[in-house]
Structure 1
Amino acid sequence: MSAAQTSLRLAILSTLCCAASPALAKAAPDPYVPAGKAVNCIQTSTIRSTNVRDDRTIDFVTGASRIYRNTLPNSCPSLGFEKRFLYKTSISQLCSVDIITVLQGGPGLSRGASCGLGKFQPMQKTPK
């Protein structure tokens, strides 16, 4: 094989390897910073939505667009992938001693890992 053929093969192989490599997604910067002291509980009646950020972090959006970030003490398998969970509480508050359960998709919803919550840290938008 000639040097030209070898160079051509290496160029083609290099191009194929690069084309097959997945693009690395850059994580969006966190738009929030802590705003005050963490609390043990939030009122369930004020929770409007949730944003699962990863396997350990959930942002709870409450009335008046207040954000409470809960950083779980341990990673919760599949939480960041599924981005959905359920909780049960016998009182009108969701607290750091409560457990969430990941909901897994498929032909129906099934229960996945159950994980403990941490404290609820009030957050605010980063000043621009």
Structure 2
Amino acid sequence: MSVRNPARLALGVALTLSVAPAVAKDAPDPYVAKGEATNCIPIRSIRSTNVRDDRTIDFVMNSRKIYRNTLPSSCPSLGFEKRFSYRTSLSQLCSVDIITVLWNAGPGLQPGASCGLGKFQPMEKAAK
């Protein structure tokens, strides 16, 4: 590759390096804790999950009730991958259970870090 105008190339590199990627600001948390935390939630009632970060998962139930699980420790890549699996022999997911982050690696999902769950805190929309 030949460079006809080295000053133009330098300017292009400088502009490229000086542009910082836009970082999305985290939206304010719309929920507040309501009531006592519980050790388990019924698996059949889980409608969906929302991974908020490496330590926080909101479990949305069929009744639209939300239980927030704050893991005792950060779980590497959970907030980035936003997906996990779990195994239990019970019909409930409990604070003693382990989740495994699922990585998108090649032709399928691969297991990543395994992390323990915390208690399930009922949440409700914050009053405006």
Query: TM > 0.5 between the two?
Result: yes
Q: Does 1:120 align with 2:120?
A: yes
Q: Deviations over 1:36-85 (max 9, x none)?
A: 11000000010000000000000000121000000000000000000000
Structure 1 segments of 4+ aligned residues over 2 angstroms from their partners: 15-19
**Which structure 2 residues correspond to residues 1-128 of structure 1 after superposition, within 5 A?**
16=15, 20-107=19-106, 108-128=108-128
Q: Post-superposition shift, 1:97?
A: 0.3
Please give the alpha-carbon distance, in whole angstroms, between the structure 1 residues aligned to 2:76 and 2:59: 19
- Equivalence for 1:7: none
The separation in 1 between residues aligned to 2:17 and 2:79, in whole angstroms, is: 28
Which AA in structure 2 matches 1:101? Answer: T
1:113 partner letter: A
Pairs aligned (count): 116
Give the letter for the 1:125 counterpart: K
Question: 1 or 2, which has the higher helix percentage?
Answer: 1
Taking only aligned residues, the RMSD between alpha carbons, in angstroms, comes to 1.7
TM-score by length of 2: 0.85
Point out where structure 1 has 5 or more consecutive residues left out of the alignment.
Answer: 1-11
Aligned letter for 1:92?
A: S
3-state secondary structure, aligned to 2:100: strand
Displacement after TM superposition at 1:17 (Å)? 7.3
Aligned counterparts of 1:24 and 1:95: Cα–Cα separation in 2: 35
**Aligned-partner SS, 1:58:** strand
Q: TM-score, normalised by structure 1?
A: 0.85
Work out the percentage of aligned pairs sharing the same amino acid. 69
- Equivalent-residue separation in structure 2 for 1:76 and 1:32 (angstroms): 22
